[in-house]
Structure 1
Amino acid sequence: MSIARRVGSRVRSPRTVLATVGARSEQVRPHWAARLEDVKNAVVGRGLRRLHWDLRLQPFHGYGSSTRVRVMAKVLYSSPGTPADFHDQPVHDMRTMAVRGWRNFASQVVPYSTVHVLLGGQEFSVRADRSGIIDAEIDIDLPPGDHRAVLWTVPGNEVTADITVFPTGANVGLVSDIDDTVMVTWLPRPLLAFWNAFVVHQSSRQVVPGMPMLYQRLAREHTAMPVMYLSTGAWNVFPVLKRFLYKNGYPDGPLLLTDWGPTNTGFFRSGRAHKERALRRLVADFPGMRWILVGDDGQHDPSIYADFASELPDHVEAILLRQLTESEQLLAHGTLRPLAQQRRGTHAPPMATAPDGHGLLAELERAGELP
């Protein structure tokens, strides 16, 4: 089969799509922590290449429309002999998924690598950023449904990535936070990365009661509803979170995570800014979609969602907030009460608050949002 090679104008970087002030600030002289990380990556990378370590890809779940898809992955070094598909095990392979978390935190990224993508019988070339992350938009015509993209850096290390193309007729989607919204961790937020990486027993994670049922009910009510999981968690814990969602009956969908390393503008990335950018990108990707925004009242979800609804009211279907207990509030931000939030705008979308998914479902039914 002949493969048409598509590069250049057919692949769009997220920065060309999101021409914002924040994106332009990435072009200034990098922060000293980012420069230090670049030096570390270069030195360690040279050492691993001398030891004949290979390049491996960790694919993430991509998404898109019938004319454009977003492909996401991470380029890493792996020791000689590591199978090329080490990061491509089925999500139901619990044993493999359990050991993957700590390896991801210990892995060395490969910045600025060229990655080839085969999708829909066409080949594209994309490039990783300084953190080894592939995040590229590809213009391609695909029918709605689940697709598999083949990614590789050199022949022999191919992996496959899930790509979900949402139907054109879908007009309501769901965006859900993860920590303390669908999953209770019972740990202070700064320890979540360590917990997700090293605690591998399913019994150590608690699902929020009723949340899977709520999401499944919403999916039945809104046919072909896209489901996106938006979190400030690191890409390193993608396999562990995928496993948790699968095990507990949540609808499958892409995860929108972030890289916790230094940026060109600071030592740490802003979790709030990550969520705000992700929501605006979804509006750009699906201009006709209205989103059900689900989060918790332990951090900044209420204000993020309220600001977003005030700015773009035509793109918000409803806001659902899980109310944390006093103990969970203490672990989330150090006080027993929710952070002070300010509702903005005069045309606020429907909002429901409850301690769990059962209560949120009852609130939606009571308000007439669900039959």
Structure 2
Amino acid sequence: MSWFKKDPLQIIAFQGYGTDTHFYARGRALEDESIDLESQNIWHLIINTWKRFETDEIKNVGINIKLPNGKILKGQTDRDGYYKVEANLDELAKLANDEGWLPFELSYDDVNIKRTIQNDNRFPGEILIPSTKAQFGVASDIDDTILHTGVVSTLKWKVIYNSVFKHAKNRIPLEGAADFYHKLHRGASSKNANPIFYVSHSPWNLYRYLELFLKQNNFPKGPILLRSMSNLLKRKKQDEKPQKQKEILNLLKTYPDLPFILIGDSGEHDPDIYMEIAEDFPDRILAIYLRSVKHKKRMLRVKGLIENYKTTEVLLVESSDQAIKHAKEHGFIS
């Protein structure tokens, strides 16, 4: 007889992206700690934060991905429970809906596993295959770009407070941001279905929290691309690119015929990352929008950076209305 009931197993699929001929999915296998996404009780919020970061990973196990056409793809989790499954296939777009989302089903490869939720060993996932009608893609930061976070606060105390003591449903989006992103998603024809990718330096542990925030505040659905805690704590090599930069470069590589709009804030490293990307892909970056932050020293630095920058247009914006006006003038939105 066991004195302690073991938590059931789950597989969390991160919304990914692919093409008509390339499948690319990521996620994580974990014990289900029963995080309450609805409760706004302060004690529950603290416990939920602890559960998000004190994870029990399911290491080095096989997983299956079943596509709508019945095809099975095989993968395996690493020492932190993450999996990454890539495959070159044909006509994947035919399996997707009108918005380009291709659903699939995840399961543990070991049929003897009995600890999954309801013991059915079936977990949903999906990847985005951008529409052929897409005019451009959007890669957007999250913190202080669409979500009030406080990354420029002293010792980032606001980031800690907001992440621990505020429910995702109570987090405040920047005014007009959701409307701007929907306009970008619809594009100049209002039917372009331009893909939106949310790229952040936040850890994957906050994936469901951020997913709930975006859904609750009516942002366009799009892949959320974060980074692992091990990468967060690991000391980078001197010439190593930031994870956010790597993700955007991978998007540009995955969609070689798709130009991009980059959106971030002027508080930390977005200006440097985005301008370097534009230098490497001068014909692929249509515009860079940077949200102004309330930090005089950092704003002076960014203004100095962009003052004589000519590769692509960089716009410092105080509000979504400014960005919308610029996007209309340049034919990005109707």
TM-score range relative to shorter protein: 0.7 to 0.9
Matched with 1:115 is 63
The CA deviation at 1:173 is 0.6
1:193–1:119 CA distance, 2 compared to 1 (3 A):
farther
**Cα distance change on mapping 1:53 and 1:368 into 2, 3 Å:** closer
**Contact map agreement 1:261 1:269 (CA 8 A) in 2:** no
Corresponding residue number in structure 1 for 2:311: 348
Runs of 5+ consecutive residues of structure 2 not aligned to the other structure: 112-119
Structure 1, unpaired ranges of 5+: 1-47, 88-92, 330-334
Structure 2 counterpart of 1:63: 17
Matched position secondary structure for 1:307? helix
Aligned to 1:196: 163
**SS, match of residue 326 in structure 2:** helix
Provide closer, same or farther for how the CA distance between residues 346 and 320 of structure 1 changes in structure 2, counting only shifts above 3 A. Answer: closer
Q: How far, CA to CA, are the matches of 2:213 and 2:77 in structure 1? A: 28
Q: Does 1:325 align with 2:320?
A: no
Alignment of 1:351-362 (within 5 A): 351-362=314-325
Shift of 1:339: 4.0
The reply to whether residue 76 of structure 1 matches residue 30 of structure 2 is yes
Q: Name the SS for the 2:101 alignment partner.
A: strand
| Partner Cα distance (1:296, 1:290) in 2 | 20
Secondary structure at the aligned position of 2:66 is classed as: strand
Secondary structure of the residue aligned to 1:207 is coil
1:275 counterpart letter in structure 2: K
Aligned to 1:137: 86
- Secondary structure of residue in 1 paired with 2:278: helix
State how many pairs are aligned. 305
The answer for the alignment partner of 2:248 in structure 1 is 279
User: C-alpha separation between the residues in 1 aligned to 2:131 and 2:168?
Assistant: 36
CA RMSD for the aligned pairs? 3.4
Shift of 1:314: 2.1
CA distance in structure 1 between the aligned counterparts of 2:101 and 2:76, rounded to whole angstroms:
24
Q: Which residue identity lines up with residue 236 of structure 1 in the other structure?
A: N
| Percent of residue pairs bearing the same amino acid type | 24
Q: TM-score, normalised by structure 1?
A: 0.72
Pairwise CA distance, 1:94: 4.6
Give 3-state SS (helix, strand or coil) of 1:313's partner. coil
Do the aligned partners of 1:260 and 1:269 also contact (CA within 8 Å) in 2?
no
CA distance in 1 between partners of 2:327 and 2:316 (Å): 10
User: How much has 1:64 moved relative to structure 2?
Assistant: 1.2
Which among 244, 256, 266 is matched to residue 297 of structure 1?
Answer: 266
Deviations 1:14-44 (A, max 9, x none): xxxxxxxxxxxxxxxxxxxxxxxxxxxxxxx
Partners of 1:234 and 1:134 lie apart in 2 by 15
Higher alpha-carbon deviation: 241-250 or 106-115? 106-115
**Match of residue 178, structure 1, among 111, 133, 142:** 142
Range that drifts further, 133-142 or 116-125? 133-142
Deviation, structure 1 residue 231: 0.2
Per mean C-alpha deviation after superposition, the further-off stretch among 115-124 and 344-353 is 344-353
CA 1:127–1:198 in structure 2 vs 1: closer, same or farther (change >3 Å)?
farther
Whole-Å separation in 2 of the counterparts to 1:100 and 1:125: 32
Partners of 1:126 and 1:309 lie apart in 2 by 34
Cα deviation 1:312-354 (Å, max 9, x = unaligned): 112212111111123xx7xxxxx56454563599752233221
Mean Cα displacement is larger for which, 222-231 or 263-272?
Answer: 263-272
Q: CA deviation at 1:176?
A: 0.5
Change (3 A) 1:346 1:199: closer
Please tell me whether the aligned partners of residues 364 and 370 of structure 1 are also in contact (alpha carbons under 8 angstroms): yes
Q: Deviations over 1:103-123 (max 9, x none)?
A: 322221123222111113111
Is 1:211–1:358's contact at 8 Å kept on the other side of the alignment? Answer: no
> Which of 320, 326, 332 is the equivalent residue of 1:363?
326
